[in-house]
Structure 1
Amino acid sequence: MDRADVEAFFEAVDFPTFNARQDAGRSWADARRELAEHHPEHVSTLDVYTENFAASLVGPVPGTEEVVRELRTLGVRLYGLTNWSAEMFHEAEPAAPAIGLMEDVLVSGRVGLVKPDPRIFEAATERFALDPARTLFVDDSVANVTAARALGFRTLHFEDAAGLRTALRDLGVGVREA
């Protein structure tokens, strides 16, 4: 399979939408059945993708795991809220070890809701017993940050670990300087 095959697959299935449906809880078996019905020429590409899913992950953002470790050492309670396929979430921690440092992670594919839907933030608030006014929500998506802010969360748009450190220090959290 070459790059052109992959690009044709991405375009034919509208991959961002396809992936969002996986994050919302559609099973990979259902995705494969739907693809076989509408785009049978791309079923083999999907099979290669799912068999090699871990290789498609870009890995952790440099420095982020260290910030998360510092926050844990400081006693900060850490929870995850992620848009991710339930069936593939087992690949997340090896690709981004900071996930394993969280007390708990709410996975969109397990609850059938995706950020920025307000209901997933409400589910997280209930599951983790959070007070949004006392909770900092950090995310790399402006849409997700905006949704959380509208629900009363304190928010931070994540761009890199150095910026996260600076923002945390500005909030009075005792992480070391970037």
Structure 2
Amino acid sequence: MKPQAVVFDIGNVLIHWDPLPVYDRLIGPARRQVLFDAVDLFDMNRRVDLGEPFAALVRATADAHPDWRDEIMLWQKHWMEMASPAIDHSVRLMQALQTKGIPVFSLTNFGIETYELAAGHYPFMRAFDRDFISGHLKMIKPDPAIFAHVEDTSGIDPAALLFTDDSAANIAAAAKRGWQTHLFDGPEGWADRLVKEELLTKEEAH
């Protein structure tokens, strides 16, 4: 079935997201490793993605770990550095699809405040035909419920949704529901997939 809508993850598909190089630069790799072993900052981020307030949660986490307070607060101060730069080729693919009248949705694990922060830097994040943002929905990938919500809200047959994500777990969850999927490992491969599905020509995709 030819896809009727294309669904993009955002982090590491449309923008880079990785806190580790930022912390390595700020406090050094060795101290960063000790910090991340002592404090589960990725779980803190997961809670943000589930809708908890970003700034308040970072402060609460810092207060709960006074020995690491300054380092934890770097997560808020330097967050945009962790979410950069944009993956320009992926952004062009999104825009090329929309130019041809193909609906493009976001389906992303992203906090409410952090999404607004990122969208202020990346205008394309306000250009999706539909937004499915975990912080607002209070559920995150790969929970099947978030995929069901996309289906129910869009009214599109799961088999007519083409989804790209850099997470194998998220791709597996979508495929289990009958979605067409592409495990993102770079924009060139994604461009080739869009050409294969006859959504874009080679000239439009590259």
TM-score (norm 2): 0.76
Indicate the residue corresponding to 2:79 in structure 1.
Answer: 53
Q: Deviations over 1:10-35 (max 9, x none)?
A: 22122322222221222231453244
Contact kept? 2:63, 2:69, Cα under 8 Å: yes
Q: Secondary structure at the match of 2:202?
A: coil
CA RMSD of aligned residues (A): 2.0
Residue correspondence of structure 1 range 94-133 to structure 2 within 5 A: 94=120, 96-133=122-159
Gaps of 5+ in 1: none
The answer to whether structure 1 residue 36 and structure 2 residue 76 are counterparts is no
Q: Deviations over 1:27-82 (max 9, x none)?
A: 23145324423x22222222232122112213222411111111011111001010
| Higher RCO (Cα < 8 Å, 6 or more apart) | 2
C-alpha separation in 2, matches of 1:160 and 1:97: 21
Residue range with higher mean Cα deviation, 26-35 or 167-176: 26-35
**Percent identical across equivalent pairs?**
27
Gaps of 5+ in 2: 1-25
Indicate the residue corresponding to 2:3 in structure 1.
Answer: none
Q: CA deviation at 1:97?
A: 4.5
Residue range with higher mean Cα deviation, 4-13 or 98-107: 4-13
C-alpha separation in 1, matches of 2:68 and 2:47: 17
Q: Secondary structure at the match of 1:116?
A: coil
Q: CA deviation at 1:87?
A: 1.5
Residue of structure 2 aligned with 1:141, choices 145, 157, 167: 167
C-alpha separation in 2, matches of 1:169 and 1:100: 25
Taking a change above 3 Å as real, the CA distance of residues 161 and 30 of structure 1, as seen in their structure-2 partners, is closer
C-alpha separation in 1, matches of 2:52 and 2:202: 41
C-alpha separation in 1, matches of 2:130 and 2:173: 21
The answer to whether structure 1 residue 168 and structure 2 residue 194 are counterparts is yes
Residue correspondence of structure 1 range 58-73 to structure 2 within 5 A: 58-73=84-99
Q: Secondary structure at the match of 1:152?
A: coil
Q: Secondary structure at the match of 2:117?
A: helix
Contact kept? 1:136, 1:156, Cα under 8 Å: yes
